[in-house]
Amino acid sequence: MNPIYPLGELGEISSPAAANNPTLADQLGVHAPPAWTEDALCAQVDIGDIFFPDKGGSATVAKRICEQCSVRRTCLEYSLTNEERFGVWGGLTARERREYQRIEEAA
Ligand code: SF4
């Protein structure tokens, strides 16, 4: 029977996968949220699905929250860098982000 290791010991496994993905988080596909999310206004309220409205649904409430958020710019940049395809990030819907990026690339 194989021993069961605590998660912390998995980070010390020597294998090709470990060499290519040296951290435990990478091996497990788990990543800590970026530090800026600690100041995310949406993380401080019970948002339900308002940041991920159904197709044709309203993003108005989410956008109003984003307007008051101190990390709005960082959030938007994060979503663009990570090609977030769904939801409201940095006060913009997915369609608005695509338009924003198109304009930025054309400039
Ligand atoms: S800008 Fe909006 S989506 Fe981004 S962290 Fe702030 S409240 Fe959340």
Q: What is the pLDDT of residues 27-37, one digit of tens each?
A: 556 678 899 99
Atom of ligand 1 at shortest range from CA of 37: 5
Which of these, 57, 65, 60, 107, lies nearest to 90 by C-alpha position?
Answer: 65
Query: What is the DSSP code (8-state) at residue 92?
Result: B
Q: What is the pLDDT of residues 4-19, one digit of tens each?
A: 333 333 333 333 444 4
Pocket test for ligand 1, best of 69, 79, 80, 92 (most atoms within 8 A of CB): 69
Tell me the pTM. 0.72
Does the Cβ of 87 fall within 6 Å of ligand 1? Answer: no
In the reported structure, the alpha carbon of residue 28 is separated from the centroid of ligand 1 by a whole-number distance in angstroms of: 27
Task: Give the number of C-alpha atoms closer than 13 A to the C-alpha of residue 93, restricted to the C-beta side.
Answer: 13
Does the Cβ of 89 fall within 6 Å of ligand 1? Answer: yes
Query: What is the rounded average pLDDT of the residues 71-93?
Result: 97
Query: What is the rounded average pLDDT of the residues 91-96?
Result: 97
